[in-house]
């Protein structure tokens, strides 16, 4: 019997498909690119903040940086939500990377999301393909177009002159940016989409800075430990308020520090999950891996339907798709109601002892219901098919130390990439970020990248018969296809998506 999947209709509408599996696959691609791009814009700080016993000074600095990001996110919601003071001025406000991280972590707690006002129906931007439910995805899909490191290069001859059109193949992840429907996102189409989004970003920054007197955008990969004050004619009113002790309306609520602390906790709780996903890299987490995870998530929801009182603890792959679903909050609420009759809480705050018992119970229930194992505890012959252990978004060191996934995943990474830098997905690289064997996202200018699908190849017009081709410089089975299951013969090459900015 086929596995039932959530409809995810709002996310499907955003990416231009009626297929819920494709919508969830694209959501995973957008989400993983986002995690890679923001690994030093909140996730690393979340990990360091939990290491007070190892380095209390760095842990304190990291915690203050998270609290600052959380406060900025709350201010963003105050200013640009449905009833925000600046919503009419900036109807499509663009979050920075750090506020996007906090927004993401907040959405992963659907039972107690703090900044849900950002999905107010009145935020719908006239003529936009996204709904308020997919606002987070809309911005991160633009960041994918801007900074994604793995697109599929394509060239297509058009018109009676057989003029070559070159760019990135318009897979489901990029299709909304293919303005002429040619099947290729050209450099011009990319620039057109990004120019509109960047204009909204600039307008958001101006409005935020005028209102708060603090800097909105920071250099990529940096996270300040306190707001950076600006002093200019554009912020004179905010500066005057600060001098006379009149704080802006968004800072007057007594529970605001508690809200910021909860948001900082939410980011820290997911830092290990992010590190573990990034440590596996794009040769392990392929489209086929994601498709299996989507199927397993559907089976996980079936478990939740049949045993509504049970605490179900997901594996890493299932939790990834669970995150993808929750990041479209209206889809998540609607689909849970339709499939389960209730909201499925992402309750990752239980004690390690409780989680250990619940994980074993979940494995047993899975074995009774499905023909496939919940976790392959021994290495599979093909390392790509290992289903992983309990998700690192759940529990702390005691729970995970008994699961054995650190050793298994280190072996897996070494088998696929020829080396292993992973230690449970939490090893920092030379720049102080989370380790990645190969990047999903890049801040490097396109000229510095190995391949750029928006740079026309010299040989594009060598053959009159050249109609449609894909670069395969990434090597068979060694690269992320960005929707490669859309086409059976596709492969991808690593490319620069341009400077990601902040």
The per-residue pLDDT for 445 is 44
DSSP string over 290-348: HHHHHHHHHHHHHHHHH-TTS----BHHHHHHHHHHHTSHHHHHHHHHHHHSS------
The per-residue pLDDT for 468 is 25
The residue count of the chain comes to 502
The per-residue pLDDT for 149 is 72
115, 106 in Cβ contact below 8 A? yes
Q: Which residues contact 140 (CB under 8 A, 6 or more apart)?
A: 30, 31, 33, 34, 100
pTM of full prediction above 0.85: no
The per-residue pLDDT for 239 is 56
CB atoms under 10 Å from CB of 215, counted, come to: 17
The per-residue pLDDT for 452 is 54
The per-residue pLDDT for 430 is 41
The per-residue pLDDT for 357 is 82
The per-residue pLDDT for 388 is 53
CA pair distance 499, 497, nearest whole angstrom: 7
The per-residue pLDDT for 162 is 63
Token representation of residue 58: 């760095």
Conformation bin of residue 445: beta by default, left when phi > 0, alpha when psi is -120 to 50: beta
58, 354 in Cβ contact below 8 A? no
Q: Which residues of the chain have pLDDT under 50?
A: 120-127, 129-130, 249, 379, 383-385, 387, 392-395, 398-400, 422-433, 444-451, 456-500
CA pair distance 296, 274, nearest whole angstrom: 20
337, 381 in Cβ contact below 8 A? no
Q: Work out the burial of residue 227: count CB atoms within 10 Å of its CB; fewer than 13 is exposed, 13-18 middle, 19 or more buried.
A: middle
CA pair distance 325, 230, nearest whole angstrom: 38
CB atoms under 10 Å from CB of 358, counted, come to: 20
Picking from 275, 255, 230, the residue whose alpha carbon sits closest to that of residue 406 is 275
The per-residue pLDDT for 433 is 45
DSSP string over 108-168: T-TTS-S-GGGG-GGGPPTT-S--GGGHHHHHHHHHHHHHBSEE-EEEEEETTTTEEEEEE
The per-residue pLDDT for 226 is 92
Residue tagged 């995810």 (tokens):
8
Picking from 96, 62, 64, 1, the residue whose alpha carbon sits closest to that of residue 501 is 96
Sequence-ordered alpha helix ranges (H) in 181-286: 187-212, 236-243, 256-280
Q: Phi, psi at residue 186, to the nearest 5°?
A: -80, 170
The per-residue pLDDT for 332 is 95
């Amino acid at each position: 019997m086929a596995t039932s999947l959530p409809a995810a209709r709002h996310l499907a509408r955003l990416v231009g498909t009626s297929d819920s599996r494709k919508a969830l696959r694209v959501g995973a691609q957008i989400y993983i690119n986002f995690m890679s791009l923001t690994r030093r814009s909140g996730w690393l700080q979340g990990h360091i903040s939990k290491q007070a016993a190892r380095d209390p000074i760095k842990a304190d600095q990291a915690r203050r940086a998270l609290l600052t990001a959380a406060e900025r996110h709350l201010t963003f919601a105050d200013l640009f939500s449905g009833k925000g003071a600046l919503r009419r001025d900036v109807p499509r406000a663009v979050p920075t990377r750090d506020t996007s991280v906090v927004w993401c972590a907040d959405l992963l707690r659907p039972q107690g999301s703090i900044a849900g006002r950002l999905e107010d129906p009145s935020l719908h931007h006239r003529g936009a393909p996204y709904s308020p439910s997919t606002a987070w995805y809309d911005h991160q899909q633009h960041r994918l177009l801007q900074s994604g490191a793995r697109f599929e290069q394509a060239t297509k001859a058009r018109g009676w002159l057989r003029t070559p059109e070159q760019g990135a193949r318009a897979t489901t992840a990029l299709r909304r940016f293919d303005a002429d429907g040619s099947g290729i996102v050209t450099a011009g189409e990319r620039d057109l989409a990004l120019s509109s989004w960047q204009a909204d970003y600039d307008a958001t920054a101006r409005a935020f800075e005028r209102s708060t007197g603090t800097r909105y955008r920071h250099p990529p990969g940096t996270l300040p430990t306190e707001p950076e004050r600006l002093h200019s004619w554009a912020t004179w009113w905010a500066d005057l308020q600060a001098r006379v002790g009149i704080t802006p309306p968004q800072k007057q609520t007594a529970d605001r520090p508690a809200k910021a602390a909860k948001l900082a906790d939410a980011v820290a709780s997911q830092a290990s999950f992010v590190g573990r996903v990034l440590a596996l890299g794009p040769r392990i987490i392929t489209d086929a891996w994601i498709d299996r995870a989507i199927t397993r998530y559907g089976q996980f929801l079936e478990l939740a339907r049949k045993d509504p009182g049970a605490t179900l603890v997901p594996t890493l792959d299932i939790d990834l798709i669970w995150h993808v679903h929750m990041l479209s909050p209206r889809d998540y609420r609607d689909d849970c109601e339709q499939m389960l009759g209730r909201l499925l809480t992402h309750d990752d705050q239980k004690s390690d002892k409780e989680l250990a018992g619940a994980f074993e119970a979940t494995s047993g229930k899975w074995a009774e219901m499905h023909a496939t194992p919940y976790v392959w505890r021994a290495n599979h012959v093909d390392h790509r098919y290992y289903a992983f252990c309990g998700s690192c978004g759940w529990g702390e060191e005691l729970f995970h130390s008994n699961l054995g996934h650190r050793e298994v995943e280190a072996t897996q990474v070494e088998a696929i990439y020829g080396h292993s830098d992973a230690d449970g997905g939490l090893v920092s690289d030379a720049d102080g970020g989370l380790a990645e064997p190969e990047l999903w996202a890049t801040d490097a200018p396109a000229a510095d990248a190995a391949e750029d699908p928006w740079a026309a190849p010299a040989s594009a017009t060598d053959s009159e018969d050249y109609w449609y081709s894909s670069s395969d410089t990434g090597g068979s089975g060694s690269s992320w296809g960005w929707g490669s299951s859309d086409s059976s013969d596709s492969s991808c090459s690593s490319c620069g998506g341009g400077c990601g900015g902040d």
